[in-house]
């Protein structure tokens, strides 16, 4: 069937919108972090271009490895929802150090790298897991059309979020300023 008809059928299928939303969350996060990797690394104290490039390569590798390991687990257990929610919760947790700038744990390159790799391991698997789930719930629809809708949606939202992220990167948010050990600034 024509692509537009397929899209209408997908959105009319119960259970399609949640894997689409999870896929969009994941790809948006990885695309935004990838787009601003230089700024994130420099803010955390990693300033050499080779080090930034290696961190970016490590991030992409973590996405791949996370997809293989966690995706393999989901293939065996079919625990799509539980694993997706755990990955998204982990993603929120490991995003925090990427925005830290000063105070007790700011400018800690090791923390930054571990957070970046953890982000790749947590956010990356959400895409293939939810692509598979969307294909399953829309069966016997065309797998390519299902994944195309997810890619188009994810990349469109990512493109719309880039200017928002660029504006947010200009602002600092300070938390716990009255508690010195917890005092931190988060940028972007």
Domain CATH number, residue 80: 1.20.1250.20
pLDDT at 170 over 80: no
Residue 171, Cβ density class (10 Å: 0-12 exposed, 13-18 middle, ≥19 buried): exposed
Q: How many domains does the chain have?
A: 1
Q: What is the DSSP track for 96-114?
A: HHHHB-SGGGSS-HHHHHH
Residues 111-169 have pLDDT tens digits of 889 999 999 999 999 999 999 999 999 999 999 999 999 999 999 999 999 998 888 77
pLDDT of residue 185: 59
Asked whether residue 9 is assigned to any structural domain, the reply reads no
Give the predicted TM-score (pTM) of the model: 0.86
Asked whether residue 176 is assigned to any structural domain, the reply reads yes
pLDDT at 104 over 70: no
Residue 60 Cα distances to 55, 98, 137, angstroms: 9, 16, 28
Top-confidence residue, 144 or 108: 144
pLDDT of residue 182: 60
pLDDT at 173 over 70: no
Asked whether residue 94 is assigned to any structural domain, the reply reads yes
Residue 48 Cα distances to 101, 103, 135, angstroms: 18, 22, 42
pLDDT of residue 180: 66
Token duo for residue 162: 């880039």
Kindly report the length of the chain: 188
pLDDT of residue 106: 53
Asked whether residue 10 is assigned to any structural domain, the reply reads no
Asked whether residue 100 is assigned to any structural domain, the reply reads yes
Token duo for residue 113: 């790298």
pLDDT of residue 79: 97
């Amino acid at each position: 069937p024509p692509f537009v008809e397929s899209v209408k059928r997908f959105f009319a299928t119960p259970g399609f919108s949640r894997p689409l939303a999870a896929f969009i969350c994941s790809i948006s996060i990885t695309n935004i972090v990838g787009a601003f990797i230089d700024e994130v690394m420099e803010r955390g104290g990693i300033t050499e271009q080779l080090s930034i490039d290696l961190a970016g390569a490590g991030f992409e590798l973590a996405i791949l490895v996370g997809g293989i390991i966690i995706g393999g687990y989901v293939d065996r257990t079919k625990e799509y929802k539980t694993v997706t929610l755990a990955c998204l919760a982990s993603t929120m947790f490991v995003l925090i150090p990427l925005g830290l700038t000063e105070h007790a744990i700011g400018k800690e390159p090791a923390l930054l790298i571990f957070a970046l790799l953890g982000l790749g391991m947590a956010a990356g698997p959400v895409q293939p897991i939810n692509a598979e789930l969307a294909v399953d719930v829309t069966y016997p629809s065309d797998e390519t059309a299902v994944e195309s809708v997810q890619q188009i949606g994810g990349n469109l939202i990512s493109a719309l979020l880039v200017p928002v992220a660029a504006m947010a990167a200009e602002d600092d948010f300070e938390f716990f300023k009255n508690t010195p050990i917890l005092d931190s600034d988060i940028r972007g």
